[in-house]
Amino acid sequence: MKKKLVSIMLVAAMALSVVACGSSKGNSAKTDGTEAMASSVSKTPDNQISINLASEPQSIDPALNSAVDGGCMIVNSFAGLYTYDKDGKLIPQLASDMPEVSDDETVYTVKMIKSQWSNGEEVTANDFVYSWNRAADEKTAADYAYLFDIIARNDDGSLAVEATDDYTLKITLTNPCPYFNDLMAFPTYFPVYQKDVEKADPDGKNPGKWCQEAGFVSNGAYTLKSWKHNESMVYVKNPKYYDADNVTMDEIHIMLSADDTATYAAYNSGDLDFVDTVPNDEISTLNGKNSDFHIIPNLGTYYVGFNVNDPIFDGKTVEQAASMRKAMNLLIDREFIVENVGQTGQIAADSFVPAGMSDGNGGVFKTDDTSYYDADKTGADQVEEAKKLLESAGYTFTDNGDGSYKCDPAISMTFLTNDDSTHIAVGESLQQDFALLGINMEIKSEDWNVFIEDRKSGNFTIAREGWLADYNDPINMLELFTTDSGNNDMQLGKGVKPSDSAPDWTDYNKLIKEIRTTADFSKRVDLMHQAEDMLMDTGAVMPIYYYNDIYMLKSNIKGIYSTIYGMKYFMYATKDK
């Protein structure tokens, strides 16, 4: 899942079976100062909490959201069949127990408890049948539609999901899936209220319209009472929620902004109880010195990506274009970034699949043998190797006499990022690293929603990226890059006419399909390593570090918890006077 903020990472060896929606913190329209931004949030009573997650969410439709901030709002306002407790353990939510699974591990039967929508109507198994088919339908255009490919299809093309009675779901998979229980805890698998969806969008042209304003029906701990776009949201306790008796906070007030300087000031003034990031230049003064500052593990990778169809590669062969990208990957001084930009103990990445991720067969996927370069080396240490790669792509160099070179013909490009101090600082570091070989890179920052659309449409050369795992299996990292994935920002296999310098992506798509369908889990691990090899050989993704998360929380508040997938749960918080 796209992580809207850059909360930097620390890797713990975790083999938990547990979401990203791709990765990052976005930026809303800025206002003229802290006072204006905090006008709709203020010091709250004991039964309310004021928070900042990021800017205006891209979407809070469970089917359409693909960012962590929207995911956090969804897990607090919708309920699925399963969820995670404070220890990261998968537990039933609207399911009465863990599913019954057939001997061949392809048929799941889920019994549900009785629960209600916020308008008092019953939540039934048919709500899940409708919602899953809606999310998988190409007309909905969900980035995560591929997450339903593991479910078999009926003759009419619908998912093989059946409501055998009002409170029983029968789900038939294409093949055994080691992470299907976790999928059912992911926001894309949450139900939506069919009448709201269809009333707001009768012609099917705007599938997310139903939840673009406050007042829609939901089934989680909170309902959205008010929404001042690009400014604030107010969520109120849902008395119809199945566990309403244990929900402690009556209201959650959300400031919508990714101006980390302003939100940090609002936190220090007492207008916010929780902020999901801090200005980059404040980290060194907070880390280990302020008890409000927290660093927690995430399972994901912060990376930089190239649009393989970009004109910068025109006239190059597939191999030459890959060599260009690999050369720039070698120039990156990851240790400088993690020590001077991240500053929270993160680990420099030498693979795309993050350290600590399960292999789906009882082991850990990344080992000492699965490294694609030496992440501990500085860019300067690898200039000669990078220069050779660029020479193989047709470039020549003149020694400047100071350890740097002039490149001919000149390479110029723009680094695209959302407006966040950490992301910009990473871009500035890359700028210096690439300059060693005379590569000129400008930095362009955009508001979050514009940034997301530009990446998705391939309107960039090089961009900052990040992905938090949606579940603990490498396929979640690798299937991002299939041709039909809405999260394939690198445009691999995409385009009406893909560039002649872009790799043919047919074999990769076939490999991911084989990984999804094989019942041999040992073979599956080998296939996933092959897929990562293929991905890294393109040079299109340049991993920087493995994620962790940072936030600030007032010391009088307890009970907020987070998963390694970046989801934060506020409904059981307590607030001392």
Residue 237, helix vs strand vs coil: strand
Ranges of residues in the chain whose predicted pLDDT is under 50: 4-39
Nearest to 346 by CA among 2, 11, 12, 4: 11
State how far the Cα of 573 lies from the Cα of 563, in Å rounded to an integer: 15
Which contiguous run of DSSP H or E holds residue 172?
strand 168-172
pLDDT for 13 equals 32
Are 234 and 251 a contacting pair, CB within 8 Å? Answer: yes
Residue 145 in tokens: 């539609």
Helix, strand and coil in the chain, % to nearest 5: 30, 25, 50
Query: What is the b/e burial string over 79-113, where b = at least 16 CB atoms within 10 angstroms of the residue's CB?
Result: bbbbbbeeebebebbbbeeebebeeeebbbebbbe
Between CA 152 and CA 161 the distance in angstroms is 8
**Cα→Cα distances 114→123, 168, 247, Å:** 7, 11, 18
Q: 3-state class of 162 per DSSP? A: strand
Locate 548 and state its tokens: 């962790």
Three-class DSSP category at 337? helix
- The confidence score (pLDDT) of residue 26 equals 35
Look at residue 565 in the predicted model and tell me its pLDDT: 95
- pLDDT at position 34 is 38
* Beta pairing class for 107-111 and 462-468: unpaired
d(CA 201, CA 192): 14
R_g over Cα of the chain: 23
What 3-state class would DSSP assign to 8? coil
Whole-angstrom distance, CA of residue 73 vs CA of residue 79: 11
DSSP secondary structure code for residue 338 in this structure:
I
Confidence at residue 497, expressed as pLDDT on a 0 to 100 scale? 80
Cis peptide upstream of residue 409 (ω within 30 degrees of 0): yes
Q: Quote the CA–CA distance of 372 and 558 in Å, as a whole number.
A: 41
